[in-house]
């Protein structure tokens, strides 16, 4: 009997700890896509993407892509208070640019967000991920990017934390016929203008990273065109896990309760005899 009590006493804190930890994770709640396709000689410096819907206080990530001759660059999205997570040229001749932005949304509803850039183009593609459970004080663990010309599109490894969400996203200065997608993800659309010889394609993958540590390189596909690929890791909001002293109090109370039950049963058995 005492052996069983000791086993239960040891198991209860570990059980509650595992349940508490397993429920804590950054969760993807919505995704949206947008693209301007077959637009010939349409001079634009803005493209619209929906932010998705969820709950007030969710964290949103907007990813935008358009054409560049090496001089174009992104401005912050509008409306709203957005932080730039990364913005940079694709490799080689810089036939595309990728901009990544994040914010906490006070509204639960989806809204139309404008990606903005400086030079007029004829193409645009974008996507958004919306997450719950992100740390409001320090949402970003890491952002890292690679750029290249042709070959594998590799978003670099970053060091992340347990319960985080990891995004791998790539922008390509080409249409879908020149791209092979190697991971399960969301194709956010493509834009091309044959007369202006402008192309852009963007797609991304989001997944939960439960164990923490290095994510490893994320190979998003391969292409014969210029590309840029990024990894973004989102931090999980703090969870209320009891301290060792609190676990000690729980264990002591549980132990006293079980010992009391044991002696009560033993006394009852003696009286029956």
pLDDT for res 2:
44
Mean pLDDT of 148-171: 95
Q: Please check whether residues 117 and 54 belong to one and the same domain.
A: yes
Tell me if the pTM is above 0.85: no
Look at the chain and report how many structural domains it folds into: 2
pLDDT at 246 over 90: no
Q: Please check whether residues 148 and 221 belong to one and the same domain.
A: yes
pLDDT at 177 over 70: yes
Q: Please check whether residues 188 and 119 belong to one and the same domain.
A: yes
Q: Please check whether residues 43 and 112 belong to one and the same domain.
A: yes
List residues bridging with 127 in a β-sheet. Answer: 33, 63
Q: Please check whether residues 192 and 253 belong to one and the same domain.
A: no
Q: Please check whether residues 117 and 227 belong to one and the same domain.
A: yes
pLDDT for res 7:
43
Q: Please check whether residues 213 and 246 belong to one and the same domain.
A: no
Q: Please check whether residues 39 and 8 belong to one and the same domain.
A: no
Between residues 93 and 119, which one has the greater pLDDT? 119
SS3 call for 103: strand
CB 54 within 8 A of CB 30: yes
Rounded to an integer, what distance in angstroms lies between the CA atom of residue 53 and that of residue 172?
27
Phi, psi of 54 (to 5 degrees): 180, -120
pLDDT for res 180:
87
Q: Please check whether residues 99 and 172 belong to one and the same domain.
A: yes
Q: Please check whether residues 260 and 131 belong to one and the same domain.
A: no
Four-CA torsion 174, 33, 206, 91, nearest 10 degrees? 20
Q: Please check whether residues 103 and 218 belong to one and the same domain.
A: yes
Q: Please check whether residues 48 and 174 belong to one and the same domain.
A: yes
Domain span including residue 249 = 2-20+242-272
pLDDT for res 113:
96
pLDDT for res 176:
82
Rounded to an integer, what distance in angstroms lies between the CA atom of residue 230 and that of residue 170?
6
């Amino acid at each position: 009997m005492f052996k069983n009590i000791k086993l239960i006493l040891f198991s209860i804190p570990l059980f509650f700890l595992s349940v508490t930890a397993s429920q804590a994770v950054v969760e993807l709640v919505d995704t949206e896509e947008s693209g301007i396709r077959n637009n010939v000689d349409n001079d634009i410096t803005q493209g619209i993407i929906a932010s998705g819907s969820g709950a007030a206080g969710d964290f949103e990530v907007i990813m935008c892509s358009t054409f560049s001759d090496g001089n174009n660059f992104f401005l912050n999205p509008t409306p709203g208070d957005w932080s730039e997570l990364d913005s940079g040229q694709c490799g080689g001749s810089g036939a595309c640019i990728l901009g990544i932005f994040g914010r906490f949304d006070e509204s639960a509803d989806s809204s139309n967000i404008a990606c903005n850039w400086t030079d007029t183009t004829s193409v645009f593609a974008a996507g958004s991920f919306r997450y719950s459970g992100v740390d409001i004080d320090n949402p970003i663990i890491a952002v890292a990017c690679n750029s290249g010309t042709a070959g594998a599109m590799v978003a670099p490894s970053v060091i992340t934390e347990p319960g985080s969400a990891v995004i791998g996203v790539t922008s390509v200065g080409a249409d879908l016929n020149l791209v092979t997608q190697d991971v399960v993800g969301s194709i956010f659309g493509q834009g091309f203008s044959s007369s202006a010889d402008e192309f852009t394609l963007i797609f991304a993958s989001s997944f939960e990273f439960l164990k923490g540590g290095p994510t490893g390189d994320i190979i998003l596909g391969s292409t014969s065109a210029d590309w840029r690929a990024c990894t973004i890791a989102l931090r999980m909001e703090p969870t209320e896990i009891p301290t060792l002293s609190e676990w000690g109090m729980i264990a002591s109370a549980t132990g006293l309760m079980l010992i009391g039950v044991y002696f009560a049963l033993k006394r009852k058995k003696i009286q029956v005899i």
